[in-house]
Amino acid sequence: MADAGEGDENLREAEGAVGGEDVIDDPIMEQGAVVLRGYVIRRISTEDPDMSVSSVDLGGRPNEQQDPQIKEVVGQLLRIANELNRNAELQHLINQVQNNCAQDVFMRVARSIFAEGINWGRVVALFHLAYRLIYKALTTNHMENIRVIISWVLQFIREQLHTWIAQQGGWEGVIIGISRWRTVTIVASVVLIAAIAYYRKTR
């Protein structure tokens, strides 16, 4: 059994995660923050192997990505994202998004992604957009933007996606729906292209 000192240390580690008290004691929010960071880390390791990024760099805890369940969820999201990554037009549009976009613009784009409903492909589209913004922040040395972007994603999840994710059985629901990921990704690609085009019009 952990002593009081260890318990305090664990609590401090949890509070150090991006989102602070907003994610503590809410498994969907807390796991969502870890999954998002895992998605960003593994996406970067694939696209830019020379760049080293850890959970701590993104506001998380040192060993949070070691959970086998987290690894499986992140892996499934990345398989969906591979379809998004093959879309040249989509990548060109994403690259036009400035790393200093305002919160209201980010939220408008996020809402447009889910305008016609929620599915895992669209959740990945949201993560993919956040990843591109975080990557730009890393490569342009705007480190202060990273936690801001992650907090926007968590705010959107809390306000718009929390109930749906809970209905899927939590983040593990993406694993259960593995046979449908190609279909939802095709839909997500179209939606995200439209969302980024909308963003460009509102800049």
C-alpha distance from residue 7 to each of 27, 51, 56, 104, 109 (Å) = 18, 34, 20, 38, 40
Q: Looking at the predicted structure, is the pLDDT value of residue 1 above 50?
A: no
Q: Please provide the average confidence, as pLDDT, over all residues in the chain.
A: 78
Q: Looking at the predicted structure, is the pLDDT value of residue 159 above 80?
A: yes
Which one has a higher pLDDT value, 54 or 183?
A: 54
pLDDT, one tens digit per residue, over 108-137 is: 888 888 887 888 888 988 898 899 889 888
pTM of the complete model: 0.77
Query: Looking at residue 125, what is its pLDDT?
Result: 84
42-59 mean pLDDT: 91
